[in-house]
Structure 1
């Protein structure tokens, strides 16, 4: 057990992912949440009431949404401007849209100013998405600095450019999982703070062999990915648990449920 410093913070310990049983391994269809002690405690907290926010009237729900829609994967995006200026920036409004063909999405808000990333992608089409791992989160986070337009974050990050195959922007060599992408569409979400939803077609996937398991897919314990919570909080992987996807044909308990 580590000892916290005067600020109450414990020293960072790298991920040591272990798999545990799921929270309720004996759960059966139609069993309520209150069937377990943890579930009863969760249900009892509802007595404190609800805060219901009218999003259309509230306007800026940014802080509330980023604290509740968690954890979020982080896209560390490399782009190049029309003038050849390289840019690096992290975005946590990111995910995969489809697998075949592989398409990803990255949302770039326009606050406090229009992001260079969206401008560059609109102009030059190509970009790379680099998944951040624990050992270099400080380098990646440095690129969230509010640098003036035209300033390349590569110089301050300490990270290494690796030439891409299909697009002009380099990928981050330190990233164990990187995607070369080509923009297929940018959707504008107009409002008090405009946002640009970038859809990218994945052209190449680069994966370090060291993070693959025996099945040829990424082992999260080896990748050590970093996610985002609310405010300035990042999160690492802790314990994992596996829950099989139910099959209607094989689920005997389903037959006992009264659907009328």
Structure 2
């Protein structure tokens, strides 16, 4: 998309997150998706056929573009680190997620191409880092930290964001972030290509402390998405905000066994 076409886009929608009904609130066990108009349209599109990719033979650049456009939306880890010689670094990574809650562990993947990332090098050297969830009001500041600055240059000054001292690790957390985690390196898994070169470092970190703004909590003490306003990543350079949410209870066999049996009997 060219700058001129971007200028013609509507202004950013600042409306809050809201809950809606799920796409098919009347769905029952065993019912195919063609029972709804949306489902029928989705099924009809299958007639256009499939494109199958052999990952071992595809151009790595194409694989990258395909994967980040298909594996969406992705949460973003805004990671703050410090090098052995005291240079601070902060950068966003969308190959990030939770691994377990007990113990509390997260993962961040740092690609090593076209060069090894300062973030991975710093974490391996000093063990400590912070992960700061990005919210809508300061996405421009966070995005500035994705710049390909040379090693030894701190992105903090470019961003205009505020350092806040951590409790258990040396790197600062981002004061503007409403949900931040202080982490220590638990394990680094080197991902290698067919030639044996390290192409990514999968950083697995133990969460030591979580800092949450009270203003983003709901009455149950949990994070309210309408107040946190988290930002995610799509393909290419596209970010995404959270607009609508819907709740679907997790099925229970004990509670649903009779309903399931009736649905199965009706389909015979």
| TM-score, length-scaled by structure 1 | 0.96
CA shift, 1:110, in A, is 1.1
Aligned equivalent of 1:202, options 165, 183, 207: 207
SS in 1 for 2:254: coil
Q: Is the 2:130–2:182 contact (alpha carbons within 8 Å) kept by the matching residues of 1?
A: yes
Partner of residue 34, structure 1: 34
Q: Partner residue of 2:24?
A: 24
- 8 Å Cα contact 2:80-2:130 kept in structure 1: yes
Within 5 Å, which residues of 2 pair with 1:130-141?
Answer: 130-141=132-143
Instruction: Tell me the equivalent position of 1:126.
Output: 128
Correspondence 1:31-110 to 2 at 5 A: 31-60=31-60, 61-110=63-112
Counterpart Cα distance in 2 of 1:96 and 1:183: 14
Ranges in structure 2 where 5+ consecutive residues have no aligned partner: none
Q: Following superposition, which runs of at least 4 residues in structure 1 exceed 2 angstroms of deviation?
A: 4-8
* TM-align CA RMSD: 1.6
Distance 1:112 1:5, change over 3 A: closer
Q: Distance in 2 between matches of 1:29 and 1:59?
A: 42
Separation in 1, partners of 2:158, 2:70? 31
Deviation, structure 1 residue 7:
3.9
Tell me the SS of whatever aligns to 1:63: helix
**1:21 aligned counterpart, secondary structure:** coil
Q: Is 1:243 aligned to 2:248, yes or no?
A: yes
The offset of 1:5, in angstroms, is 7.8
Offset at 1:18?
A: 1.2
Q: Are the equivalent residues in 1 in contact too, given 2:189–2:202 (CA < 8 A)? A: yes
Please tell me whether the aligned partners of residues 15 and 224 of structure 1 are also in contact (alpha carbons under 8 angstroms): no
1:16, distance to aligned residue in structure 2 (A)? 1.0
Q: Which residue of 1 is the match for residue 174 of structure 2?
A: 172
Aligned partners of 2:14 and 2:204: how far apart in 1? 33
CA separation in 2, counterparts of 1:135 and 1:7? 20
Other structure's SS at 2:129 match: strand
> What 5-or-longer segments of structure 1 have no aligned partner?
none
How does the TM-score come out when normalised to structure 2? 0.93
Contact in 2 for aligned 1:75/1:130 (Cα 8 Å): yes
- Greater per-residue helix proportion: 2
